[in-house]
Amino acid sequence: MSMFGRKTFVAAPTRRGPLDSFSETVIRVVETIGPAVIGVRRKSRTRDLYDGAGSGVIISPDGYALTNNHVVRGAGLVEGVLEDGSVVNAEIVGTDPDTDLALLRLNGGGHRSAALGDSDALRVGELSIAIGNPLGLQATVTVGVISALRRTLRGESGRLIEDVIQTDAALNPGNSGGALVDAHGAVVGVNTAIIGGAQGLCFAVPSNTAKVVLPELMRTGRVARGWFGIAGQTQELARALVRRLGLSGESGVLVVAVSSAGPAQAAGLQVGDVVLKLDGVATPSVDAIHKLLNRERIGRRVTLEVLRDGKVMRLDLAVTERPVEKASA
């Protein structure tokens, strides 16, 4: 109130000054990458209705797009919602549950696309920008920092996804499959998970993992991994046994089941054996074996160092390609 009883108001500035450098960076990245980020809608196989949605990012002008495997898993039909709101059908080219990645091919051409960056070059504390469709809200942008690097995240198949990026850029249901972008406008991750009940704990599959997976998804629709046919669990070893045998580690993988007619059975591996090393590399956990059973070892013979009845022995085993339905070692 003024002294005469009249209300006075402070007028807003009529002219804005130049934007700060932080805002300029975010705007530039969003204007560059935003058109390449799509909504992904999944239709049921049994009913004519949408039963799931997420995000994706187009990585080539001819319509190849990355998303999460869990976004399109079990879909009868997949559609992509482009930046302008138009809807196009999408083919599922390939999926990899072990990394929670899937590759789509959108109908049409001339799509705006984004480039995959080098996730290995990321540093904790640098700017991260997430673009996606949380809760169905198209082209939503959130900003944060890279909170941590080289995390591990358990995939749907039970294997660990390595080198996962942690960010505090806010993610919500529907962000899955969207782009995590650095300050230079390169896609450094595919947003994949949030921790329920926690704030600022969000994760993305690194772009360098996608670069490894993509050629195989394009070629065969799946990623080949090695297998020798056991079910196992991490087994701690008694310290006295470690000292007596001069073992280099204090744990191994206890064999709890051997697949019939699999490579392990042919090599003479038995239930109760503890796998200590594969080709001279320590195997302190099931995840360590999974990591070693990559495409390069398929069709090769490897040496297993095994603890049996208190003695160390070596077995020669031929690694085969993991059957599609198997998630064990």
- Beta-bridged to residue 103, according to DSSP, are 66, 94
Q: pLDDT tens for residues 112-133?
A: 999 999 999 999 999 999 999 8
Q: pLDDT tens for residues 250-266?
A: 999 999 999 998 999 99
Provide the pLDDT for residue 324. Answer: 73
What number of helices (H) and strands (E) belong to the chain?
Answer: 6, 20
Burial class (CB in 10 A: 0-12, 13-18, 19+), 25: middle
Burial class (CB in 10 A: 0-12, 13-18, 19+), 282: middle
Q: Is the pLDDT of residue 11 over 70?
A: no
Q: In angstroms, how far is CA 49 from the centroid of its own chain?
A: 28
For 196, which DSSP code? T
Tokens of 215: 């050629």
Distance CA(224)–CA(218), nearest Å, equals 13
Q: Which residues are catalytic?
A: 70, 100, 176
Other C-beta atoms lying within 10 Å of the C-beta of residue 131: 25
Mean pLDDT taken over the chain = 90
The residue with tokens 């074996």 is 289
Provide the pLDDT for residue 326. Answer: 56
DSSP string, 13-26: PSS--PPPHHHHHH
As a whole-number percent, the residues of the chain with pLDDT over 70 amount to: 93
- What 3 state SS string does 214-240 have? HHHHHHHCCCCCEECCEEEEEEECCHH
Structural domains in the chain, sorted by start: 16-223 (2.40.10.120), 226-321 (2.30.42.10)
Q: pLDDT tens for residues 91-113?
A: 999 999 999 999 999 999 899 99
Tokens of 257: 């089941």
Burial class (CB in 10 A: 0-12, 13-18, 19+), 270: middle
As a whole-number percent, the residues of the chain with pLDDT over 90 amount to: 73
Q: pLDDT tens for residues 127-167?
A: 999 999 888 788 899 999 999 999 988 887 778 888 899 99
How many CA atoms, within 13 angstroms, populate the side-chain half-sphere of residue 327? 11
Distance CA(131)–CA(27), nearest Å, equals 12
Contact status, residue 61 vs residue 109, Cβ threshold 8 Å: yes
Distance CA(189)–CA(167), nearest Å, equals 10
Written as one letter, the residue type at 183 is: A
